[in-house]
Structures are given as structure tokens and as C-alpha cells.
Amino acid sequence: MSTKEKLTLEDRLGLNRYEFDEESHIKVDEELCKTCEKKPCLFVCPAEVYTIVEDKIATNHENCIECSTCIIACKRIGNGAIEWYCPRGGFGISYRYG
């Protein structure tokens, strides 16, 4: 992994330590999301949790690095469709280097 080559997002997320939870800590209101034109979540999320699958927003909560940017972006720029909670105790990402 030389510093001159770009790492894919999957490569980078693979370096993190997660405790995966089957239950998602992110909920998206589909009705509100449908009418949202800008869909800022697709761009602001550093872990690409939000993607479009068959014209609908699909969430991949297992990638989430818990920065909570999506809440603010969705509320202020989008339609406020995203509901984000902290993962249950013991689950989610654990940073080793701060």
C-alpha cells in the first residue's frame, strides 16, 4: 500500500475495527426521501453508507463510521428523512488511533 496509490473506500473501511450489528441504527423515511431533489447524503457520507438502488436510497449501516454528518446534511439541505441513532452498546466502530 504505497502512499502514491489511491485506496478504494472498501480498502480503507477494511482497516477499521467494527462490531457488526444486524439491526440497523439508521432509518430512512422513504416518502420524504422520494421528494428530496438534492440528496446530499450521497455525497457527504465519508463511508458511502447511502447509495441509490432501483431509484431508492439503500443504506449500508455496517460501513458507518459514526460521524453523524448525514443527520445535519439531510435536515438542512435535504428533506430530513434520515433518522440516525447511536449504535447499541458494544456495537459499531471502535477507533484505535483516535
Note the residues at the interface with other proteins (CB under 8 A).
Answer: 1, 3-7, 9, 12-13, 15-16, 38, 40, 43-48, 65, 67-69, 72-73, 76-77, 93, 95-98
Give the SS3 label for residue 40: coil
Q: Min. distance of Cβ 75 from other proteins in angstroms?
A: 9
Residue nearer to other proteins on the CB measure, 4 or 23: 4
Residue type, 36: C
Q: Min. distance of Cβ 84 from other proteins in angstroms?
A: 12
**64 touches 13 (CB < 8 A):** no
Residue 25: what are its φ and ψ, rounded to 5°? -95, 5
Residue nearer to other proteins on the CB measure, 4 or 55: 4
Pairwise CA distance, residues 64 & 73, whole Å: 15
Residue nearer to other proteins on the CB measure, 13 or 81: 13
**Which residue in the block uniquely carries the three cell numbers 457527504?**
44
Q: Min. distance of Cβ 7 from other proteins in angstroms?
A: 6
